[in-house]
Structure 1
Amino acid sequence: MITLVRKFEGIIVANLTPFTEEGVLDETAYREHIEFMIERGIHGLFPIGTMGEGINIPLEEKKHIIDVLVDQVKDRVDIIVQGTCVNTAESIAFARYCYEKGVHAMALITPWFYPYDEENLYQNFSAIASAVPQMPIFIYNNPDRANNKLSVKLYKRLVQTCENIVGVKDSSKDMVLFQDYINELPEEAIAISGSDGLFYLSLCAGAKGIVTAIANSHPEIFVALWNAYNAGDKDHACEIQKEINQMRSIFKIGPYASGYKYAIEKRGLKFGGFRLPVRDLNEKEKEAFENAYSSAEFIKKWER
C-alpha cells in the first residue's frame, strides 16, 4: 500500500452541484457553499458522486468542476472525487486529470447498468489504478445505484494487487458487509461509511469517517457527533445520531436528492436547482418539507 500523506477521515461531504437556469455550473454558489462547509469544520469533500449528479455531467464539465473546487479548497480539506465514468478509458482520462490538478484521492463506484462479474470489475479497477499509481483510490460500493456489488473477495484482491487502492467507501447499508470490509483487510485499509443513518454504528465498527449528504446544509451536527465519539462520549454521540435520523427523514421528502438541495437554501445560501432528469421539489413538496422542517425544533440548535 502506498504511503499516505493525508488521513482521509472524519466528515466528508457528498457535495451537491448547483446549476444555473441554463443548466451550467453556478460557480459563485459552488464556491460559497464550499466555504460554508469548511468554516463549520468538515474534513473533506466528495464531489461529482451520486448526490453531485456525476452520472449526468459530461467529462469536460467534470473537469471544470474540479478546476473550481481545487482552486477554492486550496488544500484545506481532503478532496475525494467520484471518478467512474461511462467506460474505463474515460475513467482513466478523468483520473489522470484529477491527479494533475492536485485532487487528493479518487473513489471509483462499480460500473453501472450492465451486470459485471468479478473479473470484469477487477480489470476495470486495476486498469484505472495502474494509470495513476500515486493517486490513492477508494473502491465505492453502492449496489442499489450501480447494480453491481463489491464483494469482500474482490476488495481483498484489489488491495493486495494494486498498491494505491487504500480503502472502501460503502453505501450498501449492510453493516455485516461493512464489518467484513474492515475485519478481513489489513488494519491500514480505510473504511468510510456512506450512510448518514449508520454513522454512529459505523464508527463503532471501525469506520474512519463518513461521506454524508445532510452535511451539505447542516455540517455542524456531524462534526458534533464525530467530536463526541472521539472524546469518548458515546452516549452523547448516540443521541446526536437519533437527531440525524430525524433530519434524514425530512430531507427525503420529494424526489431523490431534491430535499437536500432545498435545505441548503434554508441556511441562507443561494443554491441552484437540478439538471433533468433529476428535478426540484414542486410546490406541494416544498410545503410538506417546510412543515416538517419548521416543526423539528431540534434543528434550530444546529443552525446557530
Structure 2
Amino acid sequence: MFKPEGVYVAMLTPFDENGEIDELSLRRTAEFAIQQGVDGLFPNSTVGEFVRLSFDEKVRIVEIVVDQAKGRVPVTPGAADTYARGSIELSKEAKRLGCEAVVITTPWYLPVSQEMIERHYEAIAEAVDIPIILYNIPMFTAPISYDVVGRLSRLENIVGMKDSSGSMSDNVNFMDKVRLLGTLDKFNFLVGREETFFPALMAGAKGSMTACAGIIPEVIVGIYRAYKEKDYNKANQLQYSFLKLLRAMNTVPFPIAFKVAMEARGFSMGIQRAVLSDAEKNNLKLVRSSIDEIMEELFGNNYKVDLEKLVSTEEFKQYVINK
C-alpha cells in the first residue's frame, strides 16, 4: 500500500483579483515544485486555507493539481472536516480523481475527547477505500495522543502521519509507540514544521509536508537529498539557512506572509480572503520588504521564477479550451 515519503508541498491556494481560485497560478506553483524535485503535493492544506474553501472549491483544486501533476508525483489532498461524514465525502472525491492518499486532521472548534478522535478516524477508515495520513496540528485542532496514534497505525489504510506540533519530543514518542506495536514498516512519519526537518530525519522520520517546500523547494529538497547522501554537514547548513525567512513569515497572521513569500518568487497569489486591519496592511509592507531581502540572501538576484517556463499563457489557454 502507498506510504508517503520524501518532500511533500503543503500547497498555498492562489486567488485572483475577485477572490476566486486562480487556476493558472495554481498550476504554476504545482509545476514549479515538481520541476524542483519534490516527492508529492498536498493541496487543500492548512497553509492553503482549506477552512476558507467551499466543498466544490476543494474538489476543483484537487482536479487542477492532479491534472497538472499527470502522475509524476503523488497528490495527497487534505480531506479534513469537523465531522466524519464530511471527511468521507472529500476522501471519496479524492479517490475518484486519482489521488494516492488523503490527509486528515482531528476535528476542530467543538471540544473532543481522545476516544472521539480515535472513533472519528476509525469511521473514516471504515468508509473509504483510500490510504489515510493522520495530521496532528495542535495549534489549530485537538492534539492526538501517542496511544491513539499507535492504535490507529494498526488499521490497514492508515499509512502515516504529519506531525505539526514542532516538538521533537512528540515526534519521537509517536514513532516509538508505533514501533512498539510493530507497525512502523507500514506507517511513515513526516514532519509539518520546517524547523525540525533535518533533526527529525535523523530521528527516523521519512520526510516532510511543509509550505516552504513549495516556496523554497531548492532548499527543502536539498536538505532531504543531502540527508539521503549522508552529507549531514550540508543538510545541517541548509536547515539553518532559511530560518530567518521562516521567522519573517511568522510575524503576521498565518498564512498571509507565506503568500507574500510566494509573490516574492514571482507567483500571483491575488487578494486575501481574510480581512486585514490598516495596521496589519502597513506591517505587511515592511514584512514584504524584509522577505525580498532574505530571498536575495538565499538565491542572489535570480530568486524570481520565470513563470512562462512553467506553464505558459498559451498552454493555459489550451487547458481552458480543452476543458
TM-score by length of structure 2 reads: 0.86
Q: Is the 8 A contact 1:12 1:44 kept in 2?
A: yes
What code does the residue aligned with 2:223 have? L
State the secondary structure of the residue aligned to 1:19. Answer: coil
Post-superposition Cα deviations, 1:25-50, rounded to whole Å, max 9, x if no partner, equal 11111111111111111111111121
Cα offset, 1:102, TM superposition = 0.6
Structural RMSD (CA): 2.0
* 1:187 maps to which of 184, 191, 194: 184
Instruction: Check 1:278–1:182 CA distance in 2 against 1; reply closer, same or farther (3 A cut).
Output: farther
Q: Quick check: 1:15–1:216 contact (8 Å CA) kept in 2? A: yes
Find 1:177's aligned residue among 170, 186, 201. Answer: 170
> Is 1:140 matched with 2:135?
yes
Task: Please say if 1:12 is aligned against 2:8.
Answer: yes
Match of 1:214 in 2: 212
Match of 1:293 in 2: 292
- C-alpha distance in 1, partners of 2:275/2:7? 29
How many Å separate the matches in 2 of 1:31 and 1:55?
A: 21
Q: Percent same amino acid among aligned pairs? A: 32
2:311 alignment counterpart: none
The AA in structure 2 aligned to 1:300 is: F
Is 1:29 equivalent to 2:28 in the alignment?
A: no
Amino acid at match of 1:298: E
Q: Matches of 1:292 and 1:106 in 2, distance apart?
A: 32
Aligned to 1:166: 159
Q: 1:278 and 1:93, CA in 2 relative to 1: closer, same or farther beyond 3 A?
A: farther
Q: 1:166 to 1:268 in 2, by over 3 A?
A: same
Distance 2:140 2:238 in 1: 28
Letter in 2 for 1:178: N
Question: Counterpart of 1:151?
Answer: 145
Q: 2:247 matched to which residue of 1?
A: 249
Contact 2:9 2:38 in 1 (8 A): yes
Maintained 8 Å contact 1:251/1:289? no
Does residue 42 (structure 1) correspond to residue 38 (structure 2)? The answer is yes
- Contact kept in structure 1, 2:257 and 2:287, CA below 8 Å: no
- State the distance in 2 between where 1:117 and 1:284 align: 39
SS of equivalent to 2:77:
strand
Return the alpha-carbon distance in structure 2 between the equivalents of residues 262 and 126 of structure 1.
Answer: 38
Most deviating of 272-281 and 285-294 = 272-281
- CA distance in structure 2 between the partners assigned to 1:58 and 1:86 by the alignment: 14
Q: Secondary structure at the match of 2:27?
A: helix
Contact 2:14 / 2:26 at 8 angstroms: preserved in 1?
Answer: yes
Provide, for residues 141-187 of structure 1, a one-character-per-residue CA deviation record: whole Å limited to 9, x for no partner. 011101x1111111111122x21001111001121111011122122
How far apart are 1:295 and its partner, in Å? 5.4
Which residue of structure 2 lines up, in the alignment, with residue 240 of structure 1? 238
Q: 1:246, CA displacement in angstroms?
A: 1.8
Q: How far apart are the structure 1 equivalents of 2:90 and 2:295? A: 42
- The correspondence for 2:116, drawn from 120, 124, 132, is 120
Amino acid at match of 2:133: F
Q: Which residue pairs with 1:303 in the alignment?
A: 303
1:226 and 1:86, CA in 2 relative to 1: closer, same or farther beyond 3 A? Answer: same
8 A Cα contact 1:51 1:213, kept in partner? yes
By how many angstroms is 1:75 displaced? 1.2
Helix, strand or coil at the partner of 1:145: coil
What's the secondary structure of 2:242's corresponding residue? helix
How far 1:222 moved relative to its partner? 0.6
Would the alpha carbon gap of residues 33 and 170 (structure 1) be closer, same or farther in structure 2, given more than 3 Å must change?
A: same
Please tell me whether the aligned partners of residues 173 and 198 of structure 1 are also in contact (alpha carbons under 8 angstroms): yes
Deviations 1:203-240 (A, max 9, x none): 11111111111222211001111111111111111111
Aligned length: 297
- Aligned match of 1:102: 98
Which residue, out of 240, 248, 256, partners 1:258? Answer: 256
Contact 1:13 1:213 in 2 (8 A): yes
TM-score for both structures, normalised by structure 1: 0.92
283-292 vs 70-79, greater mean Cα deviation: 283-292
The aligned amino acid for 1:242 is Y
String of CA shifts for 1:16-74, please: whole Å, max 9, x gaps.
00112222111111111111111111111111121010011111211111111111111
Amino acid corresponding to residue 136 of structure 1 in structure 2: P
Whole-Å separation in 2 of the counterparts to 1:184 and 1:273 = 43
Q: Secondary structure at the match of 2:244?
A: helix
| Structure 2: 5+ residue stretches without partners | 305-323
Change (3 A) 1:296 1:271: closer
Any conservation in 2 of the 1:182–1:191 contact (CA below 8 Å)?
A: yes
Q: How much does 1:138 deviate?
A: 1.0
Does the CA-based 8 Å contact 1:96-1:131 persist in structure 2? no
Gapped regions of structure 1 (runs ≥ 5):
none
